[in-house]
Amino acid sequence: MAFLSDAMSRIQSSATVAINSKAAEMKRAGQDVISLAAGEPDFDTPQNVRDAAIKAMSEGKTRYTAVDGIPELKEAVAAKFNRDNHLGVTASDCFVAAGGKQIIFNALVATLNPGDDVVIPVPYWVSYPEIARLCDANPVFAVADASTGFKLKPEVLDAAITPKTKWLILNTPSNPTGAAYSNDELRGLADVLLKHPQVHILTDDIYEVLVYDGGRFATIAEVEPKLRERTLTMNGVSKSHAMTGWRIGYCTGPKPLLGAMLNLQSQSTTNPSSIAQWAAVEALNGPQGFLKEWRQIFQGRRDLVVKGLNANTGLDCLTPEGAFYVFPSVKNLLGKTSGSGVALKTDEDVVMALLAETGVALVHGTAFGLPGHMRLSYAAATSQLEDAVSRIQDFCAKVR
Ligand code: PLP
């Protein structure tokens, strides 16, 4: 009898392991590596948020809390959803977990049966299909490639839905492409979803605050209130307040779903860290002025990177609306040979050769379900980005 469960054979470890271990090995050997493979802001958590955590510790707020979050945080979450997204919710419609990822995990494990379908636009954030597979459900991949600005088109969504579709997962702005849906684009998807009442929508809005060029963030339950009763709107402080290590995510959604998620979480991690919850109260209720500055910095970096990647490299990089990723096509490099003689057959060959020959670590598109691309995270200092872009340009210039 096998010791490990069947579920473990259905999921893969992170596809970025090879690239990260190679980068770490090169660093240990004293080589000059620039890693643009990470998915977290390079800023520090704002001081007022750190102070709130210290205060919570000093005041002894260090015990178990309610499973789905302290009332003060659920109030702050409801106020955020009402202020920014006009969702008209109360604290009792809100739920807190140890990161946005635990919200997604709870929701899928609480609802999926073997054989259920989950529609996932491609390219996707790596955890969506893996969690669906853990539940023995089928990820149904709906193409949202560069030809549509990496956005799901209504007709493609319609064709992907089956009677067994339980969820559609949306992520805007997107990891790995940075694409962000406009109000009108979500309207088109909402019209399709109104025809399919069996489909619930999980929208991962974790990059909400990072929309550039003055664009306005939109989320589907705001665009079509009739979908609210079957939408789980997920968000968190990881990216908005540079709090990836604190592990606080939150959501609002239908009460029966939140009740099931509460049962599940009560049998796994119980509550998220009490101290991190008090920090998150300050993050959501405190001043948000710093975000304007962060957005300006990220937008400047995005522009630098897109311009550099498109400058006679053979790469083809769209200008994304949000998040801190670009997802250029490497198709023009495939079938050729790198400067040091490596055959570039796949996008993984490209990122491995790029790392070996220039020290720049990126992630290949296949890891996100779309071969022929690579993901660059521009959550790094501008000087590092300039250096990385010029190394990428050198690498491309030597490809024959
Ligand atoms: N959703 C997306 C699209 C992400 O990129 C990430 C983190 O990289 C998460 C969710 C996870 O967020 P958290 O750190 O709050 O679990």
Radius of gyration of the chain (CA): 21
Task: Pick the last residue of a domain from 260, 285, 310.
Answer: 285
What CATH number should be reported for the domain holding residue 180? 3.40.640.10
Residue 24 has a pLDDT of 87
Three-state DSSP at 200 gives strand
Residue 39 has a pLDDT of 83
With a cut of 70, which residues of the chain have pLDDT below it? none
Q: Whose CA is nearest to atom 3 of ligand 1?
A: 175
Q: Which two tokens stand for residue 15?
A: 């596809």
Q: Whose CA is nearest to atom 5 of ligand 1?
A: 175
Residue 313 has a pLDDT of 87
267 Cβ contact partners less than 8 Å away, ≥ 6 residues apart: none
Same domain? 243 vs 168: yes
Closest CA to 110 of 251, 256, 320, 314: 256
Residue 250 has a pLDDT of 98
Residue 12 has a pLDDT of 84
Measure the CA–CA gap between 387 and 22, rounded to whole angstroms: 20
Residues with CB under 6 Å of ligand 1 are 39, 99-101, 125, 171, 175, 204, 206, 236, 238, 244, 249
Same domain? 18 vs 82: no
Residue 333 has a pLDDT of 97
| C-alpha dihedral sign at 100, 141, 360, 210 | negative
Q: Is the pTM of this model over 0.95?
A: yes
Find the 107 Cα to ligand 1 centroid distance in Å: 15
Residue 192 lies in a domain: yes
What CATH number should be reported for the domain holding residue 16? 3.90.1150.10
Residue 101 has a pLDDT of 96
What residues pair up with 211 in beta bridges, in sequence order? 322
Same domain? 310 vs 248: no
Residue 199 lies in a domain: yes
Task: Pick the last residue of a domain from 250, 285, 320.
Answer: 285
Measure the CA–CA gap between 168 and 209, rounded to whole angstroms: 22
Residue 318 has a pLDDT of 98
Measured N-to-C along each axis, helices 382-398 and 347-358 cross at an angle, to the nearest 10 degrees, of: 110
Task: Pick the last residue of a domain from 269, 285, 301.
Answer: 285
Residue 226 half-sphere exposure toward CB, CA atoms < 13 A: 11
Residue 51 lies in a domain: no
Same domain? 120 vs 236: yes
Domain extent for 95: 63-285
**Long-range contacts of 83-92, Cβ-Cβ distance < 8 Å, separation of 24 or more:** 84/208, 84/217, 85/219, 85/221, 85/222, 85/233, 86/222, 87/221, 87/222, 87/228, 87/233, 87/252, 89/252, 92/255
Same domain? 21 vs 159: no
Q: Whose CA is nearest to atom 7 of ligand 1?
A: 39
Measured N-to-C along each axis, helices 47-58 and 274-285 cross at an angle, to the nearest 10 degrees, of: 140
Find the 129 Cα to ligand 1 centroid distance in Å: 14
Three-state DSSP at 219 gives coil
Same domain? 172 vs 270: yes
Same domain? 270 vs 381: no
Residue 373 has a pLDDT of 98
Residue 50 lies in a domain: no
Same domain? 279 vs 294: no
Residue 52 lies in a domain: no
Same domain? 86 vs 39: no
Residue 73 lies in a domain: yes
**Long-range contacts of 88-94, Cβ-Cβ distance < 8 Å, separation of 24 or more:** 89/252, 92/255, 93/252, 93/253, 93/255, 93/258, 94/68, 94/69, 94/250, 94/251, 94/252
Same domain? 322 vs 256: no
Q: Which two tokens stand for residue 240?
A: 């908005």
What total of structural domains would you count in the chain? 2
Residue 54 lies in a domain: no
Residue 295 has a pLDDT of 97
Q: Quick one: 158 exposed, middle or buried, by C-beta within 10 A (0-12, 13-18, 19+)? A: middle
Residue 105 half-sphere exposure toward CB, CA atoms < 13 A: 15
Find the 378 Cα to ligand 1 centroid distance in Å: 16
Residue 119 lies in a domain: yes
117 Cβ contact partners less than 8 Å away, ≥ 6 residues apart: 137, 138, 140, 162, 164, 165, 166
Q: Are strands 34-35 and 360-361 parallel, antiparallel or unpaired?
A: parallel
Give the helix, strand, coil percentages of the chain, each rounded to 5.
Answer: 45, 15, 40
Cβ(364)–Cβ(351) below 8 Å: yes
Same domain? 230 vs 365: no
CA 243 from chain center: how many Å? 14
Closest CA to 141 of 379, 369, 341: 369
Residue 157 has a pLDDT of 98
Same domain? 27 vs 72: no
Q: Which atom of ligand 1 is nearest to the CA of 102?
A: 16
Residue 117 has a pLDDT of 98
Find the 394 Cα to ligand 1 centroid distance in Å: 32
Q: What torsion do the CA atoms of 15, 200, 101, 153 make, to the nearest 10 degrees?
A: 50
